[in-house]
């Protein structure tokens, strides 16, 4: 809770999750309390995560939710479950053009 722009609802004891920014990728990491695995999908959390995902999209700054060691990337239009991320695994995003416009394909790439 070092960011003053986050409201009291984001305090870890209330939100059941902790936010951090990865120094290398600038991804927003969301570590969910193992005892409350769906906390991140509640309101206002999920709505905020979707907004942050949309804001970071142009700079490839993704929102990654961790429940235990399983990761899910939150995108503005969907969530992509990647499973367990091991040491050295990377999250790779590739643009793909569709009839509806550009979309991102997200995958885990092994080290």
Domain count of the fold of the chain: 1
| Among the listed residues 73, 80, 66, the one whose alpha carbon sits nearest the alpha carbon of residue 20 | 66
Please check the confidence at residue 1 and state whether its pLDDT lies above 60: no
**Structural domain that includes position 40:** 8-109
Inside any domain, residue 98: yes
Inside any domain, residue 48: yes
Inside any domain, residue 44: yes
Inside any domain, residue 77: yes
Inside any domain, residue 2: no
Inside any domain, residue 1: no
- Long-range (24+ apart) CB contacts under 8 A made by 18-26 are 25/61, 25/62, 25/91, 26/56, 26/59, 26/61
Could you tell me which residue, 87 or 41, shows the higher pLDDT?
41
Please check the confidence at residue 77 and state whether its pLDDT lies above 60: yes
For 44-48, 53-57, 99-103, which range has the lowest pLDDT when averaged over its residues?
99-103
Inside any domain, residue 90: yes
Inside any domain, residue 3: no
Q: Is the pTM of this model over 0.85?
A: yes
| pLDDT number for residue 106 | 95
């Amino acid at each position: 809770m070092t960011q003053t722009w986050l409201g009291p609802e984001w305090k870890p004891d209330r939100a059941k999750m902790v936010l951090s920014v990865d120094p290398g990728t600038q991804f927003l990491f969301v570590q969910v309390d193992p005892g409350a695995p769906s906390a991140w999908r509640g309101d206002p959390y999920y709505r905020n995560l979707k907004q942050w995902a949309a804001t970071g999209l142009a700079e490839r700054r993704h929102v990654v939710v961790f429940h235990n060691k399983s990761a899910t990337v939150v995108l503005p239009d969907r969530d992509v479950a990647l499973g367990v991320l091991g040491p050295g695994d990377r999250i790779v995003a590739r643009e793909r053009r569709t009839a509806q416009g550009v979309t991102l394909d997200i995958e885990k790439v092994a080290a």
